[in-house]
Amino acid sequence: MKILVTAGDTYEPIDDVRKVTHMATGRLGSLIADEFAKQGAKVTFICGEHSIRPTLKMEKIIEIQGVVSLQKTLKDLLSHTQFDSLVHSMAVSDYTIRGLVTEDDLIKKFLKIIPYIKNISNQKEMFSYIKEAFSSALYNAEGKISSDYESLLVFMDRAPKVISCVKQMQPNTILVGFKLLSNVDEETLVAAAKEQMQLSGSDFVLANDLADIDGDNHKGLLISSKGIIDRPATKQDIAKSIVNHVTNCIGRD
């Protein structure tokens, strides 16, 4: 049984010392990887640089940085190795850094283009012109950004949904996705998990609410096409539940 588990955080660098990241520790992913290893699985573990590692022996541990790094690593692995299941518990950044600009420079840029946009009557064309002008004002930091700026704007672009490539490359892999929301009712949480299931082709989704996570106390809803199939209450329960349902599916195949 070959299993791929992603866990922990990704980060997007602003400069050489600053970055946008998550609070995810990789604790849950490490427990899932260990639980699979207990079942005799050969587990490949992909994680962020500060993520908690599994305690048991893994087939391979691969450290990644940002979304692009994760996407490349996943595609490389999926193109060379057939996995029975992929559990994608990593908290992947929703945005990548496009560039930086000081507030003063952005205002100066806007003042320069005002005479030109006054002559543009089409709103869509005007927006496009302004966006292009603003993009030309951005720069990528080299080294450490000076602390002398009064204000600094960071422009970010939506990151690709890495999970979407899994079923495209390996349709028969049992895919487990995760959905995290904050302070919502169960109906909203389940609806969001089902939507993700449809978009990604996941076989299971572990839906959880940030308000229900406190250390290893971690309430979740394991959801399949049948609806809610389990209600684990701790990280250990979640790991066991996911492994049990995945191994049962693999056994039926």
The alpha carbon dihedral of 120, 124, 130, 132 has a sign of: negative
Q: Measured between alpha carbons, how far is 137 from 100 in angstroms, rounded to an integer?
A: 8
Read off the DSSP letter of residue 159. Answer: P
pLDDT at 253: 58
Question: With the CA atoms of 132, 136, 137 and 143 taken in that order, what torsion angle do they form, in degrees rounded to the nearest 10?
Answer: 140
Tell me the average pLDDT across 27-33: 97
pLDDT band at residue 121, thresholds of 50, 70 and 90? confident
148 neighbors 70 (Cβ within 8 angstroms): no
pLDDT at 252: 65
Q: What pairing do the DSSP bridges indicate for beta strands 42-47 and 60-63?
A: parallel
- What average pLDDT is seen over the chain? 93
pLDDT in tens, 181-225: 999 999 999 999 999 999 999 999 999 999 999 999 999 999 999
Per-residue b or e along 154-171, where b marks 16 or more CB atoms closer than 10 Å to that residue's CB: beeeebeebbeebbeebe
pLDDT in tens, 141-163: 888 888 888 899 999 999 989 99
pLDDT in tens, 187-197: 999 999 999 99
Cα 155–chain centre separation: 19
Q: Which fold, 2-94+160-252? A: Rossmann fold (3.40.50)
* Strand, coil or helix: 56: coil
pLDDT at 50: 87
Q: Where are the domains of the chain?
A: 2-94+160-252, 96-158
